[in-house]
Amino acid sequence: MKTPLPILLAILASNAAEVRAEQAHLRPAKPNIIIMMADDMGIGDTSAYLGVRLSPNAPPIQRTLRTANLERFSQSAIVFTDGYAPASMCSSTRYSLLTGRFAHRSYLKKQGWLPHGPNTPMIQQALTTLPEMLQASGYRTTGIGKYHVGMSFDNGEGKPAADFYFRDVDFKKPLLDGPTHHGFNEYFGVPGNTEDPLDTEPRVPIRNDRFTFTDRSRMKLIGMKKREGRILAAPNWDLADLGPLFLQEAQAFITRQSQKDDEPFFLYYVPCANHLQTNPGGDYAVPEEIAGTPIKGKSRYSDNSAASDREDMVLENDVVLGKLLTQLKTTDDPRWPGHKLIENTLIIFTSDNGPNVGDNLGRNQESGGLRGKKAKLWEGGIRVPFIVSWPAVLEGGRLNRSIVTLTDLYATLARVVGHSLAPDEAQDSHDVFAYWTNTPDSPDTRPRVFFCHLGPPYLNDALAIRQGTNKLIVGGGFQPRPMRGTPSGEISRNQIEKAREPI
Ligand SMILES: [Ca+2]
């Protein structure tokens, strides 16, 4: 007997409603993704690593900064002992994270940082980036903070501004190349280093592909040391405002996304803290408070002794993470009814290189007792805090000794979202997801390569390779000038470290 059409439609509608109801209880396969990467923060800068042995035979870390939010976060997350920045400098690491490629594949082959004046953006237009891959997988992507892989500003004639102090920028024109050209739907932040006496880009925050202040006649001239009075800045520019502004932007982004039931999000949160964010007097530009929590003068070590203004900026990042976690814990997940956002959000907390203070060759508390600091290829320059949480999928409260570098995030996140890498995509990135869940039978012996290119006038351009428990440093350490009888560029020293040994 033929079913009358109205009844058939009613049955179909009923089935569809049942399917929807069923789906409402299923976790969306693609998690929200947050990468929060502090600047110049070492393993010893967080009490998440207090008492941790960085290698099985090493003594436990005795003293760290006190970071209450990271410590609490780590109790339900995976704490990695062997998480690495791919380079010991900002730009190189950011390039590798965003492209899944070694930084020496870029034009920074001979120098690990961008020129302090105008530069060619590091990421070529033809390359697929991590946020582009996520966009193609249905994500809404935003970048907040210090970009530092090169932007290009319009000189008014559609050409890149070329003046060292950017006096030829047409501020009313959109950027020629920036975050929105490389996969970010939205962006708020600064091109590079802000108030140390280095980079000369205008101190005017950028939203998407536009300067947020465009009236050149009302800009002020700031700068330090040889840059004094030479750097263009918005009238209300205040270095200490950056952290609070970035947090506001991130919170607003999460709030907007909490209204969307069909779109996961990617938040790339890269604050300027605790890079050398100093006022002309030499002190760090610490905000008095951030979203109601006092910061200035509040940092303490794990033994309750007082810390200094650099450490206040570490605390600033810790407090920011705490605020974001609170928001995720208290906000309903629009894609997964009955659940909070935090449950299906993959959060990665890390740093772009080792600490910006300490001994170049010796062990440093800020490095968690490792040797060296930022800009060195000793462990302290590249081994960084790396903490991962995804409550719905990953069992938390564990220590994980598998190797992961920030270059590996591209292939790993591609696995997570079900994206197959093209042959020319993220060539240097290894999928490490299986090691996060501890399923492989054998250790990860794929070699990882690290770089330290200070560039002229230094001659310590060097690389390190770690494979399993072996580490090879070629031309490493700090070598400010050629050794007698050693031609420039020749390998001056090879050193093999047994990473398993106490370090
Ligand atoms: Ca850095």
Q: For residues 386 and 388, what is the distance between their CA atoms, to the nearest angstrom? A: 7
- Give the number of other Cβ atoms within 10 Å of residue 45's Cβ: 34
Distance 93 CA to ligand 1 centre (A): 8
Distance 138 CA to ligand 1 centre (A): 30
> Chunked in runs of 10, what are the mean pLDDT values of the chain (503 residues)?
58 58 78 98 98 96 98 98 95 96 78 83 94 98 97 98 97 98 98 92 98 97 94 97 98 98 98 93 94 98 97 98 98 98 98 96 96 92 97 96 97 98 97 92 92 63 87 64 41 44 39
Domain ranges of the chain: 27-438
| The predicted structure's pLDDT at residue 490 | 36
Distance 366 CA to ligand 1 centre (A): 14
Pairing of strands 206-207, 210-211: antiparallel
Distance 459 CA to ligand 1 centre (A): 20
Distance 339 CA to ligand 1 centre (A): 36
Distance 70 CA to ligand 1 centre (A): 19
Distance 170 CA to ligand 1 centre (A): 29
Angular region, 433: left φ>0, alpha ψ -120 to 50, beta rest: alpha
Distance 417 CA to ligand 1 centre (A): 28
Q: Are 427 and 414 a contacting pair, CB within 8 Å?
A: no
- Give the number of other Cβ atoms within 10 Å of residue 189's Cβ: 27
Cα angle 347, 349, 354; round to 5: 160
Q: What is the dihedral of CA 42, 47, 48, 50, to 10 degrees?
A: 100
Distance 22 CA to ligand 1 centre (A): 46
Q: Is 14 exposed, middle or buried (0-12, 13-18, 19+ CB in 10 A)?
A: exposed
CATH class of 27-438: alpha beta
| The predicted structure's pLDDT at residue 167 | 97
Distance 94 CA to ligand 1 centre (A): 9
Distance 365 CA to ligand 1 centre (A): 18
| The predicted structure's pLDDT at residue 265 | 98
Distance 131 CA to ligand 1 centre (A): 20
Strand partners, 177: 152
| The predicted structure's pLDDT at residue 222 | 95
Q: Are 402 and 83 a contacting pair, CB within 8 Å?
A: no
Distance 352 CA to ligand 1 centre (A): 5
Q: What is 416-435 written as a DSSP string? A: HHTPPPPTTSSTT----HHH
Distance 1 CA to ligand 1 centre (A): 74
